[in-house]
Structure 1
Amino acid sequence: MPQGRTPSPRIAVLLATHDGERFLAEQLASILDQRGAELTVFVSDDASRDGTLAILERFAADDPRVRILPPGTFGAAAPNFYRLLRDVDLTPFDYVGFADQDDLWAPTKLSRHIELLREHRADGVSSNVTAFHADGTRVLVRKDYPQRLADYAFETPGPGSTYLVTRRLAEMTKRQLTDPNSPADRAEAHDWLVYALARAAGLTWVIDPESTVEYRQHDANAVGANTGVSQALKRVRLMARGWHRGQVLLTVDACIRVASPEELPRLQWLHEMLEPRTPLSSVRLARRAGQYRRRPRDRAVIGAFMLLGLW
């Protein structure tokens, strides 16, 4: 390396796959073509029955930056990502990113987010995304509404495929995942968990207003973009049957273990209000609904559900 030249930051990209042969090659190419970053892609495959492993092996044979972990059976995306966080040695890396198998990354995604992390002295960054469909429809999915006091306990700051985090935050998450007394590994959304732990610990998180990921929408999406009536109804049903409340409680419990002195009282209050569920606690929760979601419409919805006893 020439004297005085700053070495490129080293990034571990964690890619979870499952039956992803349709779009995997395109996504991998967009990751490997990133500018201004020295990266290694670690892949964990979840019992794929299609040509996913063959595609991965072809990429790994052609590019030493692609490393495939022994395949396993995990049953969902979150446990697969948790396996990557637990099993990959992160010590040689400065930053850690997460990748889905079917999106497309903008060529400067990583370099832009490294600069944002440095500029804000932050430990995590996510961004807006552009949802796109097979028919050519494209919709900007905005995630950069201002962060609220407790939004981290209730939602993600964007899809995990937009994340870049410091090794410090990734290692903190790993410690929670490997602690038998922590509920962290039961969280059903790895991106929500990482964001929540960061904010609970008092770390800074930046939400980039620029779209850095083309978020492919298709019939096999694990979650999909929160756009349109069908997606809104899907999330309302999850809320009404208690799934969201259960995940919030689990997230709060995990966050209490890493909480800063400033965040601990807020998390303890939330835990007290969430369990047991009573009409009084629902009203008290609803009174603070403005703290729980970034988008104004979402704050109104969750507040109404709480007041009606449906959350």
Structure 2
Amino acid sequence: MPIDHTSGSLPRVAVLLATHNGRRWLPEQLESVLAQEGVEVEVFARDDASTDGTAEWLSEQAANEPRLTVIASDGASGSAAANFYRLIQLAPADREYYAFSDQDDIWVPTKLASHVRLSTQLAADGVSSNVTSFTSDGERSLVKKDFPQRRFDYLLESPGPGSTFLMSRRLVALARDYLDAPRSEAPPQYHDWLLYVLARAHGWTWHIDSVPTVDYRQHDSNVMGANVGARSAFSRLALVREQWHRGQARLLTRVALSVADDRHRPELERMLHLVENTNLRSRCALARRAQQLRRRPRDQWIIALLISTGVW
């Protein structure tokens, strides 16, 4: 459960920073993390085979900043998610809270403290939020993620960018147990999906806050951008047509089943049957559940159409 800090001690947050060729933006990101107010911050960074001097810069900073620890790389991970997964496995297991940090954003100074407060007040093991995307041209816009949560939205979408996440110790422990367990298939391709699925399927509370806490930098090297505009829509549709998204939904449903209690298991087993079968009867049954699968009303209509026509 989230920890009560009425005694006056500052909450201790371990920030897991994954880097890869981010030297250009990393100083501004790290500065905003270390400047967090009302919490005790420790940063654990792991570089993933950068070639632009990122690893060397991190080592130089760690030599003069006791709150920054560089975790030695044990080989290239191959993706941002895999890097975050290694951080979950390698970072100290005894911190009160954990947060993910990208290498190119800017955090609002009260980000962590406000999310710790929400975690305590709402007994939430996970907190995320809206973000404000911005470009090098100075264009800023709200990226809204706080639509009301649905019964099975965690099988098809995350609760916002992973860079907004605050997670309890027991949630990160659950993720570590999942990652450490021998298995035949790779974990989900996005780390934020995994943490959200584990929390929700386990029956724990996750809160998506309306207040933006991250300035979310948009650039050509984004692994996952703000998902707005025609270009992003076409990219997502291509993934849907290639059955990539359905494949991830199957995997996430199996992850959910691995931690679900007896009360939720029958319903999840039914969902797994529906996402694993593409016959007309299964498509119609799954399409009828579209309101349970996505948070935003527009997305519910879209996913219902894609499922019923066999595109998804």
Partner of 1:280: 281
Partner of 1:77: 80
Distance 2:32 2:78 in 1: 26
CA contact (8 A) 1:25 1:55 kept: no
Alpha-carbon offset, residue 276 of structure 1: 3.2
* Deviation by residue 1:167-226 (Cα, 9 ceiling, x = unmatched): 00000011001111375x421000011001100000000001000000000000001001
TM value normalised by structure 2: 0.96
Matched, 1:100 2:82: no
Partner of 1:178: 180
CA contact (8 A) 1:12 1:95 kept: yes
Residue identity in the other structure for 1:106: V
Partner of 2:14: 12
Partner of 1:40: 42
Distance 1:262 1:141 in 2: 34
Partner of 1:63: 65
Alpha-carbon offset, residue 5 of structure 1: 5.4
Counting only pairs closer than 5 Å after superposition, residues 1-311 of structure 1 correspond to structure 2 as 6-71=8-73, 72-91=75-94, 93-181=95-183, 183=185, 185-311=186-312
Distance 1:125 1:79 in 2: 22
Partner of 2:3: none
Distance 2:83 2:53 in 1: 18
Give ranges in structure 2 of 5+ residues lacking alignment. Answer: 1-5
**Structure 1 SS opposite 2:98:** strand
CA contact (8 A) 1:128 1:144 kept: yes
Residue identity in the other structure for 1:209: S
Residue identity in the other structure for 2:209: D
Give ranges in structure 1 of 5+ residues lacking alignment. Answer: none
TM value normalised by structure 1: 0.96
**Structure 1 SS opposite 2:215:** strand
CA contact (8 A) 1:153 1:248 kept: yes
Distance 1:247 1:288 in 2: 18
C-alpha RMSD of the superposition:
1.2
The runs of at least 4 consecutive aligned structure 1 residues that moved more than 6 Å come to: none
Distance 1:306 1:140 in 2: 29
Distance 2:23 2:147 in 1: 34
* Deviation by residue 1:143-171 (Cα, 9 ceiling, x = unmatched): 00000000001100000000001000000
**Structure 2 SS opposite 1:219:** coil
**Structure 1 SS opposite 2:63:** helix
Alpha-carbon offset, residue 284 of structure 1: 0.9
**Structure 1 SS opposite 2:259:** coil
Distance 2:7 2:244 in 1: 51
CA contact (8 A) 1:182 1:254 kept: no
CA contact (8 A) 2:278 2:310 kept: no
Segment drifting more, 120-129 vs 62-71: 62-71
Distance 1:266 1:98 in 2: 31
Residue identity in the other structure for 2:204: L
Equivalent pairs counted in the alignment come to 306
Distance 1:228 1:193 in 2: 26
Distance 1:19 1:60 in 2: 18
Distance 1:295 1:154 in 2: 12
Distance 1:33 1:262 in 2: 43
Of all paired residues, the percent bearing the same amino acid is 48
Alpha-carbon offset, residue 58 of structure 1: 2.2
